[in-house]
């Protein structure tokens, strides 16, 4: 894979348990060539939010250095994702009256309409992270995805609005910049993951993305090609590991190894005859546990996660319209029998989402792993953003931007991918 004459993009996934860095670029065939990647332990975050900035900075630096050495690329700019328990979302309907109904609706006009949503009042400490248009009504004409070029007096827009803590977002930004990098783009983490593991057909038919990380489980529901609902569950892989540590009376590192090597999301089919030996701490006496007992501990928490997933689906009102079922990704998706549990709890067909469809065939096979879905998705989103930058800049030059738009780089980049050029 030649690096010359290619635009190299870096995806930086800052998670509660891991920092993943992927260095890559799109090749002429539209696939990603990966030049290097790293995964290091993340210290300083809890449930997606920075708790200790110094620890977080050190973790980011370690991941960046390792990826830089492997790829032989001097990493100066990165694309990052925003996630965490503080992220919330809601649906919003807004209407604008056009002064000249006989004129065709322009792209600039729709852009200004979208930007006006950022002026909605928020509770103290929160800010709007991104506004995603779903569809429009123009006078009596409903369910319009592309209003540009249509005449009309009144435009009603239906939007999915994502908000988050201002301080939490700034803390992530500060840690990245203190690590010596400039942030090129910020995206929502579940949106990045969806870019890497979902197909356009799935998004059109209706699909639920379940991204099981270390600290949180992020949910994004798509229908008719657009995001329809997002939510965050405040427990994920770490919660399972902590349960194993408590139930088996072992340290967390041992609990994680037990979960990965012997764990299962379901326990009914696990034999009670398989006994697992556990080493003692510092040469102390060891202990034993049956694989079935371990599975019982793990499955209880895993089932709780998917009960919450089912509740999110019901809250979206789309439980009967999700023809593509559930796609599970993130490090937690590698737990044995996770799809069977998902289908048992939710009643929807489930699969594990791998980023293989977007990777060139000659890449290191280990990169085709759900734990790298977010970082790979960040590269895909940033690559798409670059391809539309010239058009976006022309639009911005003609628009009188609201103050919020001037200070937010999240707005344009996410909208570019989730509808700006496909919905108008």
pTM of the entire predicted model: 0.84
| Residue tagged 């609005």 (tokens) | 161
pLDDT at 189 over 80: yes
Q: What is the pLDDT of residue 386?
A: 63
Q: What is the pLDDT of residue 400?
A: 37
Q: Over range 286-293, report the average pLDDT.
A: 90
pLDDT at 397 over 80: no
Q: What is the pLDDT of residue 83?
A: 84
Minimum mean pLDDT among 198-202, 225-229, 256-260: which range?
Answer: 225-229
Minimum mean pLDDT among 227-236, 290-299, 389-398: which range?
Answer: 389-398
d(CA 257, CA 60): 24
The average confidence (pLDDT) of the chain is 87
pLDDT, greater one: 272 or 67: 67
pLDDT at 355 over 80: yes
> 287 falls in which pLDDT band (50, 70, 90)?
confident
Which SS3 state, helix, strand or coil, does residue 44 take? coil
Contact present, 45 and 15 (Cβ < 8 Å): yes
d(CA 293, CA 191): 36
Q: What is the pLDDT of residues 36-78, one digit of tens each?
A: 999 999 999 888 889 999 999 999 999 999 999 999 999 999 9
Q: What is the pLDDT of residue 414?
A: 40
> 245 falls in which pLDDT band (50, 70, 90)?
very high
| Dihedrals phi, psi of 267, to nearest 5 degrees | -120, -15
pLDDT, greater one: 387 or 279: 279
How many percent of the chain have pLDDT more than 90? 70
Q: What is the pLDDT of residues 81-101, one digit of tens each?
A: 888 888 888 889 999 999 999
d(CA 36, CA 23): 5
Q: List, in order, residues 6 or more apart from 106 with CB less than 8 Å away.
A: 148
| Dihedrals phi, psi of 175, to nearest 5 degrees | -65, -40
Q: What is the pLDDT of residue 399?
A: 34
Residue 379 CA neighbour count, 13 Å, CB half: 31
Which SS3 state, helix, strand or coil, does residue 144 take? strand
d(CA 373, CA 218): 13
Exposure string (b/e) for 32-47, b if CB count within 10 Å is 16 or more?
Answer: bbbbbbbbbebbbbeb
> 384 falls in which pLDDT band (50, 70, 90)?
confident
d(CA 328, CA 84): 18
How many percent of the chain have pLDDT more than 70? 89
Residue 422 CA neighbour count, 13 Å, CB half: 16
Q: What is the pLDDT of residue 351?
A: 97
Q: What is the pLDDT of residue 387?
A: 57
Q: What is the pLDDT of residue 24?
A: 95
Which SS3 state, helix, strand or coil, does residue 171 take? helix
> 262 falls in which pLDDT band (50, 70, 90)?
very high
Q: List, in order, residues 6 or more apart from 401 with CB less than 8 Å away.
A: 115
| Residue tagged 């040469």 (tokens) | 283
Read off the tokens for 380. Answer: 């895909």
Exposure string (b/e) for 233-269, b if CB count within 10 Å is 16 or more?
Answer: bebbbbbbbebbbebbebeeebbbebbeebbbbbbee
Q: What is the pLDDT of residues 107-136, one digit of tens each?
A: 999 999 999 999 999 999 999 988 889 899
């Amino acid at each position: 894979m030649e690096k010359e004459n290619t635009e190299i993009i870096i995806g930086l996934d800052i998670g509660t348990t891991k920092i993943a860095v992927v260095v890559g670029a799109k090749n002429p065939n539209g696939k990603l060539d990966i030049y290097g990647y790293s995964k290091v332990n993340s210290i300083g975050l809890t449930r997606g939010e920075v708790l200790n900035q110094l620890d977080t900075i050190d973790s980011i630096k370690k991941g960046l250095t390792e990826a830089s050495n492997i790829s032989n690329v001097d990493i100066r700019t990165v694309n990052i994702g925003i996630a965490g328990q503080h992220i919330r979302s809601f649906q919003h309907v807004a209407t604008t009256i056009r002064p000249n109904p006989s004129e065709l609706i322009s792209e600039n006009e729709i852009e200004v309409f979208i930007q006006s949503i950022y002026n909605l009042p928020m509770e103290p400490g929160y800010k709007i992270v991104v506004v995603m248009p779903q569809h429009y009504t123009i006078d009596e004409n409903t369910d319009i995805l592309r209003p540009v070029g249509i005449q009309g007096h009144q435009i009603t827009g239906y939007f999915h609005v994502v908000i988050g803590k201002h301080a939490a977002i700034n803390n992530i930004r500060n840690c990245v910049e203190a690590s010596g990098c400039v942030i090129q783009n910020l995206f929502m983490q579940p949106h990045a993951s969806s870019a890497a593991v979902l197909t356009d057909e799935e998004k059109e038919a209706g699909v639920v993305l379940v991204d099981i990380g270390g600290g949180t489980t992020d949910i994004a529901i798509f229908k008719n090609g657009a995001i329809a609902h997002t939510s965050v569950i405040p427990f994920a892989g770490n919660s399972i590991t902590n349960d194993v540590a408590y139930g088996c009376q072992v340290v967390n590192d041992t609990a994680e190894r037990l979960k990965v090597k012997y764990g299962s999301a379901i326990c009914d089919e696990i034999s009670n005859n398989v006994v697992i030996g556990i080493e003692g701490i510092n040469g102390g006496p060891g202990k034993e546990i049956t694989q079935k007992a371990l599975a019982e501990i793990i499955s209880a928490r895993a089932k709780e996660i998917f009960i919450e997933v089912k509740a999110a689906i019901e809250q979206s009102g789309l439980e009967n319209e999700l023809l593509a079922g559930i796609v599970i990704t993130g490090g937690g998706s590698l737990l044995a029998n996770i799809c069977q549990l998902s289908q048992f709890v939710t009643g929807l067909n489930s699969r594990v989402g791998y980023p293989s469809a977007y990777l060139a065939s000659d890449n290191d096979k280990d990169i085709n792993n759900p734990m790298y879905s977010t970082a790979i998705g960040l590269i895909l989103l940033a690559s798409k953003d670059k391809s539309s930058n010239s058009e976006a800049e022309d639009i911005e030059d003609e628009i009188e931007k609201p103050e919020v738009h001037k200070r937010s780089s999240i707005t344009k980049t996410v909208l570019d991918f989730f509808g700006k050029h496909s919905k108008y």
